[in-house]
Structure 1
Amino acid sequence: MKRFLLLVFLLLNAFIFKASAQQYILSGHVTDQRGGPVSFVSVYIRNTTYGTTSNEQGVYKFNIGAGDYDVIYRYVGNKEQIDHITITDHDVLHNVQMEDEVFQLKTVKAVDKRNRDTAAYTIMRKVIAKREFYLNEVNSYSAAIYVKGMQKLTGAPKKLLTNGVSKVLDLDTNGHGILYQSESISNYNFQRPDKVKEITVSSREAGISPTFSYNKASDLQANFYENLFEVEGLSSHAFVSPIAKNAFKYYRYYLEGATVENGRTIDKIKLIGRNKGEYSFEGYIYILDGDWRIYSVDLQLTNKVNRLNFVDTMKVSQQYIPVQDNIWMPTSIQYNYNGNVFGFKFDGYYVGVYNNYKFNVAFPPDYFNGEVMRLDTNARIKNADYWFKNRPIPLTAQETRDYQKKDSIQRLQKSKPYLDSLQKSKNRVLVIPYTVFGFTMTSRNNKDSLYVYPFNQTLFYNTVEGVGLNLKARLSHTSNDFKTIGITPNIRYGFADNLLSANIHSYYYYDPFHEGHFFLDFGNDVLDLNNVGTRSVYFNTLSTLLSNNNYVKYYRSEFGDVGFMRELANGILFKGTLSYANRTQMFNNSYAHIFTSKTRHYTSNNPLAPDSVAANDRSVLFPQNQALTLNTSVKFTFDQQYITRPTGKVYLPSKYPTLTVNYRKAIPGVFGSDADYDFVSADISQDKIRLGVMGYSSFKLSTGDFLNKNKLYFMDYNHFLGNQGRTFDPTYVGSFHFLPFYQFSANSFYLEAHYQHNFAGSLLNNIGFMRNLKLEEIVGANYLTEKNNKDYREFYVGLQRFIFRVDYGVSYAGNKKYLQGIRIFYGIR
């Protein structure tokens, strides 16, 4: 009997617990006074950190337990509304009609001698004075964040909208349709001053990814209490917050009025950018009077004023709510954008919803270890039922149909006939892309691939080999645990010297989470005497045949090397290589050209021979020799941050300089090795140091010396990334504009320095007709000193737009002017 009563008692408790834990749906439709839907209204439960946002059609949805709730509805331009709702034992439909907000001036508007709205400026001074307090108010917190993104095509030119284009973009007959949808749910963790870790528990994407995306929780952390606001991908410079410490230099403020909501006075401040306003927002900021904190923002950036990339308008809306002990945090943020590219009109949005705030979280000491985001292994395999239960923003009917359609297409794409057809289509060789970029063939499961190097690197001409063929391909295989093995066979033949070269480069990428891989190379090849590279095969062929400038100098190497690389700890990367080579000098054998030049002639393949020496010169640069060389390096990336995906790590740029220490040892006497030297060097560099509205800087410093040079050959010198010819490659800050490829190569102590600054349009912005060109101004300087060539300097200015760049510079060698001229870059190296 006791056992029976105990069983009944347990069953009753289980029933009561289940009933109390039962979730119901609170949903409804939010409209304005005219009956139109109000999109993206913040809806949250009073005195909690649980909230949601209505969708584009004004529909909202909660999963909520039984109880009594005060539900708050907030949207910029409408009165805040609080409704008392009781949930019993069933779902509840609760529609809301929001009233327009009416802001009234508290006093007669007054202006000072500078024609400034004195009331607005008084308010903003108080807000700016409390900026740092609110910035540092919360030491740490965690939150659950839902992010949704969507992009639509709203118009397209009929001439370009062929059946093929419509099919690929999945458009209707009017050229309209959803191009892209994404959503994710993450646990976001923050600790002051800048420690972040985001755990993405679920993620979903459908359609063609847009040029820029903000589908991570960390992408939507817009904090206007910071002085600067950066919109990644839309501009090369930052924008000034309306409450930055120097905001009065960039904004004019106007008090539109005030209103009282639930006993709080809200001031509505209109913002207008000073001067041309490129670095400032337009719109409204709402201030909680007395507390002098942000209540909400409704701001925008426009291409006309702010010179944006890819879009015409970007709007930013953000709502703050009281969460705990008078602490206000964002409940939602939204980016709305639109644009027009070649007549294709589009608009879209990203919206973030913040829930379950927890403050002063005691994170473990090693919790913030550089991993800023981790995508769970199962994050991308959640089914439709999971998303229906867990997404806080309900889908519209159009979005639901789009997901269903793309899911059906995805299932079709996994069928054998489709995969066979797709594989045949994507492995088709297209002549023009192959010429510049090469082509790739992949297996059906994308685990095996073959990449054939482009034609412009296959057929070549130089004065040593004459016309030549360089046949090169890379084969790779990736296993189920994402380990990769690759092999690159290479056959090279020169018709003038009748010399066949063959070699194989291979690697085994065994640890994608720690950059761990082995590599093994062997064979023979024709190599550049400058081991950091000079001109590409393509540009050297052009300069040789068209203008008799045979810049690149070659030698023959029979080699074998084995190496290892791995991350020893976060931010510390080790690499070691042991190589053996038999090196032989080569000479010119071919003197073909397309245009005869009376002022230029081919030079010797000995880079140290005077230009006056005949092209068929046979002077000795170095005897045939052997070298056994140990090469080691350790790279230190301070405060290294990374994203962990199921396939491995993705490393992010550090905000601190990177230090690399190198040691190279030539070991004499082993396997007949002749070379005998020790070389050490150190590099410190950083790319894109943000300087707010003034763009960004990059720099590199390098120094090194030979500790001993008992036996040193020219290819063992320390070489530099010089440049000869009209084109150049500006993608690496450690390169020179005018430095000859070989003349300054060092066999003793050297010091190298590079600095470049991109003003991101902040200078040309002041010239009316230049604004629309969106050009970026660049200035820079390069410096090199070594024993035989002291104090080489370069200074340059340039203009850049996307991949196109033109520089003008001048160089000096010692006290004499060396070279000056124009250098251009158009994306091809």
Structure 2
Amino acid sequence: MIKKIWIWFLLVCFAGNAAAQDKHPDADSIMLEVLKYRDWYGDYIREYNALVYIKGNTQVKKKNILSKYAPNYLYWDQKGDDSFIESMVKVHYASPNYFTQEIMALNGDHLRAEDVQDRLMRFLNVNIYNSTMFNDQILMPEHKKVFKYYRFKYIASQDTLGQIIHQIQIIPKIKSQKLISGYFYIVDGSWTIYRFDIRGKWEFFKFRVETELGLYQKEFLLPHRSTITFHLNLLGNEMVNTYFSQFEYQSVNSYDKHQKPAGTNYDLSHYFSIETDSVPVVADTLFWEKQRPVPLSPHEDRLLDNNLNESQTTGSPKQSWYIAKGLTVPTNFEHNQMQYNYSGLLNPLKLAYSDWDGVVYWQQISMKKTFGDGKMLRFNPAAGFLFQEKKLYFSTPATWVFAPAKFGEFFWTFENRNQAYNSTTIQEIKQFLPDSINFNDLQLKYYQHYHTYMEAKYEISNGFLVYGGLYYDWYIPVLDKLSKDATQLVEDRYRSFAPVIGLRWTPRQYYRFNGKQKEYLFSHYPTFMVEYARGISGVLKSNSYYERVEMNIQQKIPLNLLKSLHYTLAAGWFTNTESVYFADFKHFQRKNIPQSWSDPSGGTFYLLNSNWYNATDYYAQAHFMYESPFDLLRLFSKIPADIVSSRFYAGYLYMPVLPPYVELGYGVGNFVGNANVFVSFKRGKPEAIGLKFAFELNL
């Protein structure tokens, strides 16, 4: 009898515990409710205009001699002292995730102003119901598919303003700068996010964003106040930036079921940030006392007084410091109304390596002058030295923008290219079987190649560009390949003069105006290009006659969860070749100066012998690049969290003189640099393997 009573007692207790657990909310269920209404809440606020007050202070915890040479993108002042800044910013939002900001007034130093404009606004302008944040840099737990990247834990509930608020912890399943951790505070029943406290890492900084959203009436779903913290701890230097902001809304437009949907507008100028060369600095204490929604703390008052005193007593930094810094890190400065960017003569980040080129060291300088009517003059010379080849490559592109609203440009460049051989060798190569070609047995006559190009470009209609220009090429025999007498022969020196015309068309091209300069943004359709060149003999001592045609199709297709697919399809051929010519294609050539990680794949095979680029009068190629922050990395738990992206490459090349050639590759990268491995195949059999590495911390 006692045994039966004891069993019944245990059953009742377990049933009670089970009932209690059933009443305990499940974090995944709550997040699924949030996701169910995500699209509705994400589009409920169609547009708003707000005036945002921002105040921030910088606390330097540790510093050493290296802090004096910190590049501008670290937002570290040369003096290395604590500082304070406040500003009034006009913010315009348009659904789904477009933000425009304009600094109306600022009280603080220039570097802190850049921090507000370039970094802080990136983290302040947030639609929490969007699947990505911070200019599409970080994946938010606002999509059902992110359950494989995040897990959720129920923490507690509390009563706030008569509402039950559930606290849900966000825990990333893998370490990645593309993911965040922290807490969502979710309103029971309506399943809106009342507050969020998220943390993560962006470039060199750890960040924390704490934002409170409105619950009722006109501030429903709108950010009310935020605190944003950046923490830098690098090479013995430590700094903490803390910013507080409060929103005052001037107008809010929310969803109206009776409103007719607007037609497609390809001009997105209204939806992107305004870039200004000058920031209005206001030091009037009465002005700021009226604008501040919250008073300054005694510590902030002292920092503000220190800023004012230093601005009145401190002279300009020593010229020797500017010179030393300019030698080692990228430098931006302005002189005689010209803007300059220089990569730094002794900058180790300008080194790159690949198995086929060896070590490469290159330099870049950018000069730009903008006139009041939007016209612009740009000069962007670059040079790179290939140690394995022991050769310097250079390029001197200059651009005069005469019609900024219509892409009206005059362009000129002078550069040297890879050594080349002429069409007589192409005829020799055609006599060989593709598998039997050995370039070392052909005794090729190589020529130094110098190229200059003048081009004019203009937009006929949105997305449709026409351009035309003149090519002029010199081909000079390489002395160690020919006898001294041979170099005297006229037929061993070649010049090519070729008028060029081309068309470029992107259907339904979205764009914006940055000031008066039109800029293309994106399209859901591919870009089509076609170019025709005709070599004319007898002009400027030209002795080559030919016709060249090239066509190119390329597109970037955004996929969900920060993934994308790039593809490039291209073909080109020479025809009507009535004389000796050089098969130099525009979209099929070797690039000697390392390309940025942000450049799409196309036109280059990384393991292909450079001799093949001149070995044919016809080619067809296809390149595909799939990019994702997680797909392969999440299979390995010990992969460094600082790797923010991975790429898969596939390239196919057809030439009549070459067996079907395929390259496959995989690369990982972040804001510092990228590393890649490639494998080439001929007739399906592996032929070569190579590595490539380059830094990304450029200008």
The TM-score, its normalising length taken from structure 2, stands at 0.70
Is 1:576 aligned to 2:468, yes or no? Answer: yes
Partner of 1:310: 204
TM superposition shift of 1:666: 0.8
Pick the aligned partner of 1:229 from 101, 113, 132: 132
1:719 offset after TM fit, Å?
5.8
| Matched residue, 1:624 | 494
**Equivalent of 2:234, from 329, 341, 345?**
341
Q: Which residue of 1 aligns with 2:150?
A: 250
Which residue is 2:388 aligned to?
Answer: none
Determine helix, strand or coil for the equivalent of 1:380.
coil
Alignment partners' CA distance in 2, 1:240 and 1:721: 43
1:290 is the counterpart of 2:189: yes
Shift of 1:743: 0.9
The answer on 1:355 being equivalent to 2:246 is: no
Following TM superposition, by how much is the alpha carbon of 1:454 offset from its aligned partner in structure 2, in angstroms? Answer: 5.8
SS where residue 610 of structure 2 aligns? coil
Is the 8 Å Cα contact of residues 142 and 190 (structure 1) preserved in structure 2? Answer: yes
Aligned pair partner of 1:188 in 87, 92, 99: 92
**Which residue pairs with 1:668 in the alignment?**
536
Aligned to 1:60: none
| Aligned mates of 1:145, 1:564 — CA distance in 2 | 43
The percentage of counterpart residues that share the same residue type is 16
Structure exhibiting the larger radius of gyration computed from Cα positions: 1
Q: Does 1:682 align with 2:587?
A: no
| 1:111-153 Cα distance to aligned partner (Å, 9 max, x none) | 899x994455554444333333323334x32221416363523
Structure 1: which 5+ runs fail to align? Answer: 1-106, 457-469, 492-501, 532-549, 590-603, 606-613
Equivalence for 2:41 = 134
Hey, what does 2:418 align to over in structure 1? 528
> Does structure 2 conserve the Cα–Cα contact (< 8 Å) formed by 1:201 and 1:376?
no
Deviation at 1:301, TM superposition (A): 2.5
SS of 1:169's partner is coil
1:270 pairs with 2:168: yes
RMSD: 5.4
CA contact (8 A) 1:170 1:177 kept: no
Give 2:621's match in structure 1, choosing from 704, 728, 752. Answer: 752
Question: Cα offset for 1:347?
Answer: 2.4
| Contact 1:150/1:348 (8 A) holds in 2 | yes
1 CA distance for matches of 2:192 and 2:672? 42
Q: Distance in 2 between matches of 1:828 and 1:617?
A: 47
Number of the residue aligned with 1:23:
none
Does 390-399 or 614-623 show the bigger shift? 614-623
**Secondary structure of the structure 2 residue equivalent to 1:692:** coil
Distance in 2 (CA, whole Å) between partners of 1:786 and 1:669 is 27
Deviation at 1:570, TM superposition (A): 5.2
Counterpart of 2:401 (choices 486, 498, 509) is 509
Mapped to 1, the partners of 2:327 and 2:445 lie a distance apart of: 27
Structure-1 residue corresponding to 2:139: 238
Q: Which residue of 1 aligns with 2:478?
A: 587
Matched, 1:811 2:680: yes
Q: CA deviation at 1:658?
A: 5.6
**Partners in 1 of 2:397 and 2:16 — Cα distance?**
79
Name the residue aligned to 1:169. Answer: 77
* Inter-partner Cα distance in structure 2 for 1:806 and 1:489: 26
Would the alpha carbon gap of residues 454 and 553 (structure 1) be closer, same or farther in structure 2, given more than 3 Å must change? farther
Q: How does 1:72-221 map to 2 (within 5 A)?
A: 117-118=24-25, 120=27, 122-138=29-45, 140-146=46-52, 148=54, 150=56, 152-157=58-63, 169=77, 177-178=82-83, 181=85, 183-191=87-95, 193=96, 196=98, 198=100, 200=102, 202=104, 204=106, 206-208=109-111, 220-221=124-125
Matching residue of 1:86: none
Report SS of the residue matched to 1:223.
Answer: coil
| Correspondence for 1:720 | 588
Corresponding residue pairs, total: 620
Q: Aligned with 2:39: secondary structure?
A: helix
Q: Letter of the aligned partner of 1:268 in structure 2?
A: H
Q: Distance in 2 between matches of 1:392 and 1:216?
A: 19
Query: How is 1:350-389 mapped onto 2 (pairs within 5 angstroms)?
Result: 350=243, 351=245, 353-359=247-253, 369-371=267-269, 372-373=271-272, 375=274, 380-381=279-280, 383-385=282-284, 387-389=288-290
1:679 positional shift = 0.9
Residue from 692, 710, 715 that aligns with 2:561: 692
Offset, 1:738: 0.2
Q: Which has the higher contact order (CA 8 A, sep 6+)?
A: 2
1:151, 1:348 within 8 Å by CA — same for their partners in 2?
yes
Whole-Å separation in 2 of the counterparts to 1:409 and 1:774: 41
Change over 3 Å in CA distance of 1:564–1:747 after alignment to 2:
same
Give the superposition deviation at 1:644.
Answer: 2.3
- Tell me the distance in 1 between the aligned counterparts of 2:497 and 2:517: 36
Q: Distance in 1 between matches of 2:332 and 2:184?
A: 51
Comparing both structures, which one devotes a greater share of its residues to helix?
A: 2
More deviation, 477-486/311-320 = 477-486
TM-score (norm 1): 0.60
Aligned partner letter, 2:154: Y
Q: What's the offset of the Cα at 1:339?
A: 3.7
Contact 2:339 2:367 in 1 (8 A): yes
Distance 1:252 1:518, change over 3 A: closer
Report how far residue 358 of structure 1 moved: 2.5
Q: Cα 1:273–1:736, aligned 2, differ >3 Å: closer, same or farther?
A: same
Distance 2:372 2:133 in 1: 38
Q: Distance in 2 between matches of 1:789 and 1:132?
A: 52
